Amino acid sequence: MKSICVIGIGYVGLPTAAMFASKGHKVVGYDLNEKAVNALNKGEIIIEEPGLGELVKRVVEEGNLVGSTQCPKDCDVYIIAVPTPINSDKTADMRYVKSATRAIVPCLEEGNIVVLESTSPPRTVEDLMLPILKESGLKMGEQVYVAHSPERILPGKVLEELRTNSRIVGGINKKSSEEVKKVYESIVEGEIFLTTSTTAEMCKLMENTFRDVNIALANELAKMSEELGVNAWEVISLANQHPRVNILSPGPGVGGHCIALDPWFLVEKSDKARLINRARLNNDSMPSYVKGKISGILGGLEGKTVALYGVTYKPNIDDVRESPVMVLKKLLEEAGVKVNVCDPHAGEKIKDNYGIYDCAKDADIAVLGVNHKEFESVDFAKLAHLLKGKNVLDTRNFWSAASVEEAGLKYYLLGKSDNMVKWEN
Ligand code: SAJ
């Protein structure tokens, strides 16, 4: 068993730390955020993720996971899982990776392992981390083993994916890759592939970029469909009958801390990333496009009230980071709209978080922003009674048009033309 320090106990670091602890390793979760460290030491979590609360409570009670605001000196393995946010000019803000790497230097001893898990621009290990780690006087790759092993877990399914997904380990040399593989073998049941650190960085970014570009294609289809008299969702379902086609779903934009940001790390590093750049801009244009659609339905925005259902970046999680629906909310408010929000998952992250029916009271339109499970069973007759304007806009193709219309409401769908080209007979 190893002693492991996980630096950064957020959405990635905490589940990773808890998983290692559950296998009997002695794990320290090191973070400067005292609130997160104090919660951890009480066996509590401050994020929403299925199963994580129970796991953390258990491993803390067993004494295998502790939180600390100091970097512990005597660990075998240091795993960096700090945020890599984006600057306003869309370049990566690497200050947390830098300071985490610096914090490790005085702790390093011969035989130690350093792993970067945070998603980072290509060449981060080589160009940013190695020069700092070398200040320890130890030989990297010979006395200290260094690798990038990107996290690839899907929020909402984190514990399952940590265990079952395959993993890429990109070392600065073969020995580093092999040593780091041994560490992850204790928690990963999927296959572990070895490569170089820069290839691993590129893989992670391309995985999320692949998804971003494909969602951009779906969003472009939605816009074209509204213009050309078709329903994008019908096109997608029919086109996806083709054995080699899999068009993703349009929506109000792409959010979260990964897909909405990572492609910019490639744009920053290479001016060849043109399609990637366009796709990012297309996805970023969606909140404004939805705002325009609402304005079209209501005949203007000033003085109107919108009941907005769901503001997190995707369903059934509490994360509002980079949420396109939060951007939509802001755009509507700037245009003079009163926005009532109902989000059963965002909790206190939203001031004045309404209940499902209170939210609709006197509103001109109900807009479904996120398809949370709680919205499956909305009673549209009750909603119709409360809404002032009898309009519903579904940005996720989630609500049944028939149920909405039976209640006397007009159903609008993102990606569906209001002037559908129909059969003559
Ligand atoms: N979205 C659409 N249409 C779709 C699919 C998604 O508009 O058809 C939107 C969602 O509403 C959401 C955003 O995209 O706003 C991203 O959601 P997601 O579920 O696609 O992905 P994330 O950001 O939660 O997690 C991704 C995953 N990457 C891939 O699937 C390639 C995950 O495996 C990564 O570990 C994670 O990024 C990460 O940490 O990088």
Q: Is 107 in the active site?
A: no
Question: So what's the pLDDT on residue 47?
Answer: 84
Q: What residue type is 124 in one-letter code?
A: T
CB of 170 sitting under 6 A from ligand 1: no
Catalytic residue among 181, 204, 291, 416: 204
Other CB atoms within a 10 A radius of the CB of residue 256 amount to 22
Beta strands at 77-80 and 113-116: parallel, antiparallel or unpaired: parallel
H-type alpha helices, 89-166: 95-104, 130-133, 158-164
Contact 332, 301 (CB under 8 A): yes
State the number of CA atoms in the 13 A half-sphere of 204 facing the CB.
31
**Whose alpha carbon is nearest atom 40 of ligand 1?**
258
Backbone angles phi, psi at 346, to 5 degrees: -75, -20
What lies within 8 Å, CB to CB, of 13 at 6+ separation is 6, 7, 29, 31, 79, 81, 82, 117
Domain extents for the chain?
A: 3-190, 230-413
The Cα 254–Cα 326 span in angstroms is 11
Burial (CB count <10 Å: 0-12, 13-18, 19+), residue 335: middle
Contact 286, 255 (CB under 8 A): no
Provide the phi-psi class of 168: left if phi over 0, else alpha when psi is between -120 and 50, else beta.
Answer: beta
pTM, two decimals, is: 0.92
CATH topology of domain 230-413: Rossmann fold (3.40.50)
Catalytic residue among 5, 258, 342, 359: 258
Q: How far does the centroid of ligand 1 lie from the alpha carbon of residue 237, in Å? A: 20
Q: How far does the centroid of ligand 1 lie from the alpha carbon of residue 136, in Å? A: 38
Q: Is 258 in the active site?
A: yes
Question: So what's the pLDDT on residue 287?
Answer: 98
Q: How far does the centroid of ligand 1 lie from the alpha carbon of residue 47, in Å? A: 18
Q: State the DSSP code for 14.
A: H
The Cα 169–Cα 172 span in angstroms is 10
The Cα 187–Cα 79 span in angstroms is 14
Other CB atoms within a 10 A radius of the CB of residue 177 amount to 24
Element (DSSP H or E) covering residue 20? helix 13-22
Atom index in ligand 1 nearest the CA of residue 253 equals 7
The Cα 126–Cα 31 span in angstroms is 24
Contact 178, 171 (CB under 8 A): yes
Question: So what's the pLDDT on residue 211?
Answer: 98
Contact 180, 158 (CB under 8 A): no
The CA-to-CA distance between both ends of the chain, in Å, stands at 73
Q: State the DSSP code for 86.
A: B
Domain range 3-190, its CATH number among 3.40.50.2300, 3.40.50.720, 3.40.50.150, 3.40.640.10: 3.40.50.720
The Cα 96–Cα 102 span in angstroms is 10
The Cα 385–Cα 364 span in angstroms is 12
CB of 222 sitting under 6 A from ligand 1: no
Q: For the chain, what's the residue count?
A: 425
Q: How far does the centroid of ligand 1 lie from the alpha carbon of residue 256, in Å? A: 7
Task: Give average pLDDT by consecutive 10-residue segment, the chain, 425 residues.
Answer: 95 96 97 95 91 97 97 95 95 97 97 97 98 98 98 91 96 98 97 98 97 98 97 98 98 95 96 98 98 98 98 94 96 98 94 96 98 97 98 98 98 96 86
Q: Is 393 helix (H, G, I), strand (E, B) or coil?
A: strand
CB of 153 sitting under 6 A from ligand 1: yes
Contact 78, 136 (CB under 8 A): no
What lies within 8 Å, CB to CB, of 293 at 6+ separation is 226, 393, 412, 414
| Residue among 81, 121, 74 nearest 101 (CA) | 81
